[in-house]
């Protein structure tokens, strides 16, 4: 999870919807909001995983490779 990257196709779709957000249908608008929420959640999870790994590296030096 700490190395998670958004799938390129999802990133492209989110960008395409965002670029024309003023003209989206209701379904497209809901899709954009869902993609934004999904991306936000994954970012939080990624940061939490990175922080957990940093704590493990501090607590157990030499056990995990450096970032």
DSSP the chain: -TT----HHHHHHHHHHHHTGGG--HHHHHHHHHHHHHHHHHHHHHHHHHHHHHHHHHHSTTTS---
Q: Which residue has the higher pLDDT, 26 or 53?
A: 26
Give the pLDDT confidence score for residue 2 in this predicted structure: 58
User: Model pTM greater than 0.75?
Assistant: yes
**pLDDT at residue 67 tops 80:** no
């Amino acid at each position: 999870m700490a190395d998670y990257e958004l799938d390129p196709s999802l990133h492209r779709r989110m960008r395409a919807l965002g670029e024309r957000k003023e003209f989206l249908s209701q379904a497209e608008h809901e899709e954009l909001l869902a993609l934004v929420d999904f991306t936000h959640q994954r970012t939080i999870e990624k940061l939490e995983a990175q922080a957990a790994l940093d704590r493990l590296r501090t607590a157990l030096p030499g056990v995990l490779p450096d970032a």
